[in-house]
Amino acid sequence: KNEVEQSPQNLTAQEGEFITINCSYSVGISALHWLQQHPGGGIVSLFMLSSGKKKHGRLIATINIQEKHSSLHITASHPRDSAVYICAALISSGSARQLTFGSGTQLTVLP
- CA 97 vs CA 29, 74, 75, 85, 105: distances in Å: 9, 28, 32, 22, 24
Looking at 55, 78, 97, 110, which residue binds other proteins (CB under 8 A)?
97
Q: Which stretch binds other proteins (CB under 8 A): 14-22, 55-63, 71-79, 92-100?
A: 92-100
**Comparison of 84 and 109: residue with beta carbon closer to other proteins:** 84
Q: What are phi and psi of 9, to 5 degrees?
A: -75, -35
Q: Report CA Rg, the chain.
A: 14
- Print the binding letters for residues 39-78 with other proteins: x by CB under 8 A, - otherwise: --xxxxx--xxx----------------------------
Minimal distance, residue 111 CB to other proteins, in Å: 27
Query: Residue 90 and residue 29: Cα distance in Å, rounded?
Result: 6
Can you tell me the distance from the alpha carbon of 14 to that of 104, in angstroms, rounded to the nearest whole number? 20
Residues in contact with other proteins by CB under 8 A are 2, 4, 30-31, 33, 35, 41-45, 48-50, 86, 88, 90, 96-104
